[in-house]
Amino acid sequence: MPGLLVISLVILVLYVFKIYVGYRRAVERIHDFPGYRSFYYTANRLLRKRVPGVITGDQAFHHYKFDDFAHYGWDILSAVTVAPKTRTAWYVANVDAVKIITESRTAFRKPVERYDVLGFFGKNVVITEGEEWKRQRRITAPLFSERNNRFVWDESVRLMEELFDHWGSKERIALDDATDLCISIALHAIAAAGFGRRFSWDTEASVPPGHQMPFKDALHIVSRDLFFKLMFPNWFLKWAPIKKIRVFSTAFVDFQKYMLEMIEERKEEGTEGHSDLFSNLVEAATGDQDASNKLSFSDVTGNIFIFLFAGHETTAYTLAFALALLALYPEEQDKLYQHIRAALPKGGSPKYEDVAAFSYPLAVFYETLRMFPPVAGLPKVCEADTMLMASNPDGDNLPVFVQKGTRVWINAAGLHYHPQHWQDPHAFKPSRFLGDWPREAFMPFSGGLRACLGRRFSELEGIVVLTMLISRYKVEVLEEPRFSGETFEQRKQRVLSATSFITLTPDRIPLHLVKRD
């Protein structure tokens, strides 16, 4: 037994020595560039809390923003971990470096293996790379046309008018969590503009024969709980002891069935006269174009899912954060209201022809995206040895050698709170987006070649919702007795609290809508 113990200790010492040697070599390769040094690397988002020297943790925006870059003194940081194997990574909040990373066709690729959860319905423009991505992009990009933009605007106006009719003459509307309202608005918008399906605010959607839940419920549950599909095998999803997981399994199967039925329906009736994205995608699969410009039906379901997932969830959460900020800062809300009154002197609903007049609602939407980027970190993999340049507050530059195969993270949150580009970055100042502003330091929709195709879709919906809601209602934080003694900073922290998983999600935003005179 003593001999076995000695052998075990020798093996342990050799293992620790091997780890140490690997760690020192990794540090030497990056010339001990400032940054994180931790024992364990994990891509598991359940282990997101930072333990200095042990786990680097999730670089979540709502914890760190630009703080780490300020602490280490440079706007590019290194990270070295040793378990389960020695790894080196870079976190980038430097504008020039980000431009190199996003605009390079070959030096940096998207690690599509991290996006398996977004490919269960088929290939799409988000989860592909190389020639397949070029093909997907070439076919799908033209679908986001001026005609489609107008359709999105008109549908957003219609659904807001119907919402106001649904509320009727109510003077006050209490929202225990405004996120629920924003999700409903975004779901109605994507159902109409994405699928050509309109739902009433007054009645529950019916359940067609052969289905177990309404279309919009299946859509919402699948997009909200998609991570279950990545975490558990199919048999467990169906028989899980947790009801929420079983409901997701049912919604997933139901939603897939809905999409296949709609494809067949559009094939039979034709796509002429339809402006929604789904019809445009079906046309891309059934039209007369050659094979290189054609989608498979699996591609249709894959792309429509990614458009609705990215389109409704991120827009909904951004609108919820925007309403929270306007409630917390009534002086900014009043500026927005006065702008709306000037743009709509006779009241009524905004017209698409006048979209340029609504610069302040767009500024509020942008400022919210700056402060609460939907995805705080954008991963890339370096495919060829590359030199980047870091900078510090004194204007000094320091070269950063990024070796082939190294993971690189574009830190959108760090970029959005970089004091070199944004004066008083922690303040809510929509007016900073009027006139000239640093577009290269703004990445809520990614950037470069892989910038979000649905950006204008989201912007137009945001303008319409903010314009119409604020023109009719004043937004306030809902007063709750249990929080009666809190300070403004405590209230702000509570109302703007968020959790980052696939996208940044508000925890709870309790608001009061008070009808304007």
Binding-site residues for heme, in ranges, read: 452
* Annotated binding residues: 452
* Measured distance CA(49)–CA(497) in Å, rounded: 16
Strand partners, 108: 382
Look at residues 363, 3, 306, 18 and name the one whose alpha carbon lies nearest to residue 143: 306
Helix (H) or strand (E) holding 231: helix 227-231
Buried b (16+ CB within 10 A) or exposed e, 349-377: bbebeebebbbbbbbbbbbbbbbbbbbbb
481 secondary structure, DSSP code? G
Q: Report in angstroms the alpha-carbon separations of 402 from 88, 89, 95, 112, 410.
A: 9, 9, 16, 20, 13
* Measured distance CA(181)–CA(194) in Å, rounded: 19
Who contacts 76 (Cβ-Cβ below 8 Å, separation ≥6)?
33, 90, 91, 92, 93, 94, 97, 388, 390, 400
Look at residues 492, 496, 491, 493 and name the one whose alpha carbon lies nearest to residue 507: 496
423 secondary structure, DSSP code? S
- Both structure tokens of 2: 């003593």
**C-alpha dihedral (132, 137, 140, 145), degrees to nearest 10:** -170
* Whether the Cβ atoms of residue 117 and residue 227 lie closer than 8 Å to each other: yes
* Measured distance CA(153)–CA(343) in Å, rounded: 16
Mode of pairing for the β-strands spanning 377-382 and 108-109: antiparallel
Q: Report in angstroms the alpha-carbon separations of 147 from 144, 163, 304, 454.
A: 8, 24, 18, 14
Strand partners, 166: none
Helix (H) or strand (E) holding 436: none
Q: Where are the beta strands (DSSP E) in 187-279?
A: none
SS3 content of the chain, % helix, strand, coil (to 5): 55, 15, 35
